[in-house]
Every structure is written in structure tokens, then in C-alpha cells.
């Protein structure tokens, strides 16, 4: 490919409303991550994200990447609460920010009930209560404040050293209105995965706004991790969806979210479910101009950051194809943003989003 990327260079301010990049595989060696970190460092991409992984833990992956000389903003979407106590989670978030010298989004979620049962002995009776306790403890600790919490699920008495760090924001993995409402109350970001734009506009964003209003704070930013691919002759979007999202389509809480979004998935026929997701706009597919229009729909729904998930392309067509798609998408999106700015085209919803609050001052 011969696309010309929009170079920003290290340390350049990355505007809100832009695109970010999800690492589209689980690394087995840290050096596999370096091309994606370089992509974020030298283009207008805002942040490098990774989901939960167990081979090389995401915090370790990003620390190794920084040690290799690629220090970029990072995001974790999302680390699973049953895997570690909130004290350990806070310590890792602070360690990552200090190691990279860049901002960190630490996203958390309760995970599937089966995971909770396997690691904790039983599932959370109230995932919302468990998540509230977890995030409350982490927030106080990363700010260097003492914690004295004896909750239903998590207990913590102690503090981390109060040391200067780059910005640390806390996010919640959000699929349904209850967790979106909680994110509005206690989180800096609501992080969604596989959620169509219409569902975000009609359900997730209003719920996050309602939670924020009740708490007397600004609505948290909305970050949507969106599976996508460029249209090419050798590709089938349904097959790409299966290549990147079949595990999520198999999980009950994702199926429930999609049904709430009006997509009648069953879990019995993943190919048919994937086709329904593509038809409903949960998988973005098209040429660069078509994708730019689909990105606008997400921004109009209230999304502040779109994270490009090219896992399907990576798994079906390999790393070179995934990287080529990412380069093309980032270049086309930057050109479209410039054109929109020249034409004064609105790309945000009417929902009010205040400037991010530093973590020391957040509720």
C-alpha cells in the first residue's frame, strides 16, 4: 500500500473525536506490538488499546512497548475485575502511566458470570454493586488518597504513594443501560464493544447522561470499540465478523445486549447472528468514504472516541492486511475530518460533554 499517513509525531496533542487502534491479536512476543505502537505515535490515532489477555498481560505488554522506545497513550478495554484485587489494579495503572510517561485509560468490567464463578466461587449477586465498590477503591488509590472501604464484595484499607503521573482515567465496560448509568455516576469513560450506533444513541448515551446528572457531574466520554474492515474483492463481511467476534457473539450478556439493540441473535447459529450484526451496522464495512460516513453516525450518536477493531481482518487475512486497512482508514478519516471542519459539519451529538476532569478532582 502507498497511503500517505497524517503524521503528528511523538507528544502531539490528539484531539477528541478521533480514531484509536485496538491491538487485533493476543501477542506472544512484545515486539509484535511495536508496529501498532508506531502507528499511534506517527499518525493522528489517539490511543493504542488492548483487551484482556492472559498470555502476556496487557499492562506488561504496554510496559515492554514503552521500554522499546514507543511511548504512546494506552487503553485497556477491559481488564476483568475477578482477576485481581482493586489495590493491585490501581498499582498497575499507576505503574503503567509512570512507565510510559503517557496517559492511561484503565477500563474495568465484571466479566461473564462463568468467569466470576470460576475464580470467586460464585457470581456477583449484584454486578453493579461490585463494580461500584471496585471503581471507587481504584479511583481513591490512583489519586494517592487513603481508602477505608468494607464493601459487600471488596475490602481495602490502605493507600498508594501520591506521586506525579500522567493522566489516568477510569473506564467501565458498558453493554446495557444499568452499567451505563453507573458509568455516568462514577467513571471517566463508558467503554462499549460491538454496540451499534443507534443503540448507543437511544440507550447507552442517555443512560450515562442520566447517571452523571444524578451525581452532579459531566457525562463521561463514550469510547466505542467497533469491528471494521475495508471492502475488498476477496472479503465477506459476515466471515470477517465471525473471524473477530464469534467469541463475543457466543456469550449470553453480549447476546442480551444485541437483542436489546433490536438484533434478533440466538446464539444457535453464529453465521446467521453475524449476518444480522452486519446488517444492523454493528460491523462496519465499505470503502474509505463509506466508512467515514459510518464513523460520523457513531459520533452523531454521542461517541467521543472510535476504536478500530481489525481482529477479523487479522485472523482471516493476516497482519499485513490488518495494518494496510488501519493505515487507509486513519488517512481517510483525517481527510474526512478536515473536509467536515471546512464545511462546518457537526460530528457530535447534542448531549453536553464537559472537558475531562483530572482524576484528583473527579467524583
Kindly write down the DSSP assignment for every residue of 242-269, as one continuous string.
HHHHHHHHTSHHHHHHHHHTT----SS-
Instruction: Report which of 128, 135, 257 is spatially closest to residue 192, judged by C-alpha positions.
Output: 257
- Measured between alpha carbons, how far is residue 44 from residues 3, 13, 226, 277, 338 in Å? 14, 9, 18, 29, 12
HSE on the CB side for 278, CA within 13 Å?
23
Tell me what pLDDT residue 52 has: 87
Tell me, what's the pLDDT at 94? 96
Write out the H or E segment, with its range, that includes residue 22. Answer: strand 19-22
Q: Give every CB contact of residue 299 below 8 A, 6+ residues apart in sequence.
A: 17, 306, 347, 348, 349
Closest CA to 283 of 249, 250, 260: 249
C-alpha cell at 43: 499518525
Strands of 52-173 (E only): list them. 74-80, 104-109, 147-150, 155-158, 168-173
The reported pLDDT for the residue numbered 44 is 86
Q: N- to C-terminal Cα distance for the chain? A: 47
Give yes or no for a contact between 171 and 190, defined as CB atoms under 8 angstroms apart: yes
pLDDT computed for residue 359 by the predictor: 30
Which neighbouring-strand residues pair with 19? 306
For β-strands 221-230 and 284-286, DSSP reports them as parallel
**Lookup result for grid cell 461517541:** 303
Phi, psi for residue 360 in degrees, rounded to 5: -65, -25
Q: Rg for the chain (alpha carbons), in Å?
A: 19
- Cis peptide before 338, with omega less than 30 degrees from 0? no
Cβ within 8 Å of residue 169, ≥6 positions away: 103, 104, 105, 106, 188, 189, 356, 359
Grid coordinates in use for 10? 511523538
Dihedral sign computed on CA atoms, order 248, 253, 259, 262: negative
Which residue ranges in the chain fall short of pLDDT 50?
1-16, 347-363
8 Å CB contact between 313 and 24: yes
Pairing of strands 74-80, 48-50: parallel
Residue 332 has what pLDDT?
A: 83
The half-sphere exposure of 80 on its side-chain side, counting CA atoms within 13 A, is 17
Amino acid at each position: 500500500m502507498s497511503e500517505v499517513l497524517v503524521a503528528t509525531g511523538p507528544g502531539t496533542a490528539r484531539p477528541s473525536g478521533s480514531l484509536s487502534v485496538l491491538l487485533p491479536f493476543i501477542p506472544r512476543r512484545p515486539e509484535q506490538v511495536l508496529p501498532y505502537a508506531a502507528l499511534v505515535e506517527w499518525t493522528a490515532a489517539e490511543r493504542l488499546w488492548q483487551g484482556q489477555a492472559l498470555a502476556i498481560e496487557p499492562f506488561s505488554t504496554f510496559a515492554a512497548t514503552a521500554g522499546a522506545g514507543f511511548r504512546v497513550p494506552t487503553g485497556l478495554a477491559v481488564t476483568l475485575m475477578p482477576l485481581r484485587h482493586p489495590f493491585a489494579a490501581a498499582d498497575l495503572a499507576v505503574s503503567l502511566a509512570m512507565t510510559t510517561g503517557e496517559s492511561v485509560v484503565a477500563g474495568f468490567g465484571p466479566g461473564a458470570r462463568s468467569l466470576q464463578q470460576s475464580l470467586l466461587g460464585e457470581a456477583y449477586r449484584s454486578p453493579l454493586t461490585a463494580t461500584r465498590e471496585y471503581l471507587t477503591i481504584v479511583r481513591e488509590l490512583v489519586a494517592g488518597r487513603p481508602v477505608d472501604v468494607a464493601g459487600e464484595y471488596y475490602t481495602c484499607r490502605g493507600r498508594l504513594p501520591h506521586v506525579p503521573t500522567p493522566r489516568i482515567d477510569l473506564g467501565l465496560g458498558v453493554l446495557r443501560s444499568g452499567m451505563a448509568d453507573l458509568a455516568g455516576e462514577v467513571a471517566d469513560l463508558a467503554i462499549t464493544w460491538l454496540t451499534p450506533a443507534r443503540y448507543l444513541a437511544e440507550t447507552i448515551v442517555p443512560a450515562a447522561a442520566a447517571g452523571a446528572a444524578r451525581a452532579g457531574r459531566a457525562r463521561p466520554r463514550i469510547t466505542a470499540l467497533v469491528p471494521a474492515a475495508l471492502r475488498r474483492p476477496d472479503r465477506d463481511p459476515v466471515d470477517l465478523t465471525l473471524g473477530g467476534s464469534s467469541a463475543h457473539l457466543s456469550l449470553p450478556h453480549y447476546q442480551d445486549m444485541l437483542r436489546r439493540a433490536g438484533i434478533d441473535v440466538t446464539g444457535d447459529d453464529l453465521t446467521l447472528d453475524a449476518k444480522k450484526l452486519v446488517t444492523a451496522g454493528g460491523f462496519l464495512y465499505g470503502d474509505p468514504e463509506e466508512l467515514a460516513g459510518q464513523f460520523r453516525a457513531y459520533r452523531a450518536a454521542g461517541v467521543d472516541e472510535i476504536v478500530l477493531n481489525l481482529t477479523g481482518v487479522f485472523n482471516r487475512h493476516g497482519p499485513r492486511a490488518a495494518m494496510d486497512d488501519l493505515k487507509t482508514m486513519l488517512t481517510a478519516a483525517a481527510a474526512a475530518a478536515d473536509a467536515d471542519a471546512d464545511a462546518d459539519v457537526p460530528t457530535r451529538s447534542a448531549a453536553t460533554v464537559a472537558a475531562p476532569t483530572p482524576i484528583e478532582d473527579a467524583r
